[in-house]
Amino acid sequence: MSTHAPADTAHAHDDHDSHGHAAHDSHGHGHELSFFQKYVFSTDHKVIGIQFLITTLLMLMVGGALALGVRWQLAYRFSTMPIVGQLVFANEGGQISPEFYTMLFTMHATVMIFLVIIPILAGAFGNFLIPLMIGADDMAFPTLNMLSYWFMWPAIFFFGLSFFVEGGASSGGWTNYPPLSAIRAAAPGSQDGQTLWLIGVTFIGVSSMMGSVNYMTTIINMRAPGMTLFRMPMTIWAMFITAILQAFALPVLTAAGFMILADRTIGTCFFIPGGLTVNNTPTTVGGGQALLWQHLFWFYSHPAVYIMLLPAMGMVSDMLSCFSRKPLFGYKPMVYSIAAIAGLGFIVWGHHMFISGMNPALGMTFMISTMMIALPSAVKTFNWLGTMWGGNIQFTTPMINSIAFVSMFVVGGLSGIFMAAVPVDIYIHDTYFIVAHFHYVLFGATLFGCFGAIHYWFPKMWGRMMNETAGKIHFVISFIAFNFTFFPMHFLGAAGMPRRLADPYNYPYLEHLLPLNQFMTWSAIVMGFAQFILLANFFLSIKYGKRVGRNPWNANGLEWTAPSPPGHGNFDILPVVYRGPYEYATPNLDVDYFPQTQYVPVEQRVNVAHGH
Q: Which stretch binds ligand HEM (CB under 6 A): 43-51, 211-219, 371-379, 512-520?
A: 371-379
Find the shortest distance in angstroms from Cβ 211 to other proteins: 12
Binding status of residue 437 toward ligand HEM by CB under 6 A: yes
222 or 600: whose CB is closer to other proteins?
A: 222
Member of 77, 108, 231, 302 binding Cu ion (CB under 5 A): 302
Q: Dihedrals φ, ψ of 464, to 5°?
A: -135, 160
Q: What distance separates the 2 farthest-apart alpha carbons in the chain?
A: 87
Binding status of residue 340 toward ligand HEM by CB under 6 A: no
Q: Which does 262 bind (CB under 5 to 8 A by kind): ligand HEM, Cu ion, other proteins, none?
A: other proteins
Binding status of residue 407 toward ligand HEM by CB under 6 A: no
Q: Which does 5 bind (CB under 5 to 8 A by kind): Cu ion, ligand HEM, other proteins, none?
A: none
Q: Which does 542 bind (CB under 5 to 8 A by kind): other proteins, ligand HEM, Cu ion, none?
A: none
Binding status of residue 392 toward other proteins by CB under 8 A: no
Q: Which stretch binds other proteins (CB under 8 A): 77-85, 351-359, 467-475, 503-511?
A: 351-359
Helix or strand or coil: residue 343? Answer: helix
CA distances to 163, 247, 456, 537, 563 from 540, rounded to whole Å, are 32, 37, 16, 5, 21
Tell me the torsion sign for CA atoms 569, 570, 576, 577: negative
Q: b or e along 525-563 (b: 16 or more beta carbons within 10 Å of the residue's beta carbon)?
A: bbbbebbebbeebbeebbeebeebebbbbbbbbbbbbbe
Instruction: Report the C-alpha dihedral over residues 68, 74, 79, 83, rounded to 10 degrees.
Output: -10
Beta bridge partners of 570: 567
Binding status of residue 464 toward Cu ion by CB under 5 A: no
Which ranges of 79-179 does DSSP label H, i.e. alpha helix?
84-88, 98-110, 118, 127-134, 142-150, 152-162
d(CA 313, CA 338): 9
First to last CA, the chain: 7
Q: Which does 175 bind (CB under 5 to 8 A by kind): other proteins, Cu ion, ligand HEM, none?
A: ligand HEM
Find the shortest distance in angstroms from Cβ 550 to ligand HEM: 33
Q: Which residues, at least 6 apart from 531, have a Cβ–Cβ distance to it below 8 Å?
A: 60, 61, 64, 474, 478
Find the shortest distance in angstroms from Cβ 289 to other proteins: 5
Q: Which residues, at least 6 apart from 502, have a Cβ–Cβ distance to it below 8 Å?
A: 73, 77, 96, 98, 101, 102
SS3 track for 274-303: CCCCCCCCCCCCCCCCHHHHHHHHHHHHHH
Q: How far is C-alpha 470 from the geometric centre of its chain's CA atoms?
A: 23
Residues 145-184 that bind ligand HEM (CB under 6 A): 175
Member of 43, 202, 377, 537 binding ligand HEM (CB under 6 A): 377
Residue from 420, 293, 418, 290 nearest 364 by CA: 420
151 or 197: whose CB is closer to ligand HEM?
A: 197
Member of 48, 278, 373, 527 binding ligand HEM (CB under 6 A): 373
438 or 553: whose CB is closer to ligand HEM?
A: 438
Q: Which stretch binds Cu ion (CB under 5 A): 12-20, 21-29, 296-304, 400-408?
A: 296-304
The residue number with the shortest CB distance to ligand HEM is 416
78 or 177: whose CB is closer to other proteins?
A: 177
Member of 105, 128, 299, 578 binding other proteins (CB under 8 A): 299
Binding status of residue 439 toward Cu ion by CB under 5 A: no
d(CA 228, CA 87): 57
Residue from 584, 67, 501, 529 nearest 319 by CA: 584
H helix or E strand, kind and range, residue 341: helix 331-345
Q: What's the number of CA atoms in the CB half-sphere (13 Å) around residue 310? A: 32
Angle at 153 between CA 151 and CA 154, to 5 degrees: 80
260 or 419: whose CB is closer to ligand HEM?
A: 419
Taking CB under 8 A as the rule, which mask of x and - marks residues 133-152 in contact with other proteins? ---x---xxxxx--------
131 or 413: whose CB is closer to ligand HEM?
A: 413
377 or 561: whose CB is closer to ligand HEM?
A: 377
Find the shortest distance in angstroms from Cβ 543 to other proteins: 34
Please state, as a whole number, how many other Cβ atoms lie within 10 Å of the Cβ of residue 312.
29
Binding status of residue 338 toward ligand HEM by CB under 6 A: no
Q: Which does 417 bind (CB under 5 to 8 A by kind): ligand HEM, Cu ion, other proteins, none?
A: ligand HEM
Residues 287-326 that bind ligand HEM (CB under 6 A): 305, 308-309
Q: Which does 65 bind (CB under 5 to 8 A by kind): other proteins, ligand HEM, Cu ion, none?
A: none
Beta carbons of 256 and 136 less than 8 angstroms apart: no
Q: Which stretch binds ligand HEM (CB under 6 A): 91-99, 160-168, 384-392, 416-424?
A: 416-424
Binding status of residue 71 toward Cu ion by CB under 5 A: no
d(CA 568, CA 155): 29
d(CA 397, CA 394): 9
Residues 267-296 that bind other proteins (CB under 8 A): 267-270, 274-275, 277, 282-283, 285-289, 291-292, 295-296
Q: Which does 247 bind (CB under 5 to 8 A by kind): other proteins, ligand HEM, Cu ion, none?
A: other proteins
Taking CB under 8 A as the rule, which mask of x and - marks residues 207-226 in contact with other proteins? --x--xxx-xxx-xxxxxxx
ω before 595 within 30° of 0 (cis)? no
Site of interaction with ligand HEM (CB under 6 A): 175, 305, 308-309, 351-352, 370, 373-374, 377, 413, 416-417, 419-420, 425, 429, 434, 437-438, 441-442, 446
Site of interaction with other proteins (CB under 8 A): 16, 19, 26, 136, 140-144, 209, 212-214, 216-218, 220-228, 247-252, 254-256, 258-259, 262-263, 266-270, 274-275, 277, 282-283, 285-289, 291-292, 295-296, 299, 346-347, 350, 357-362, 574
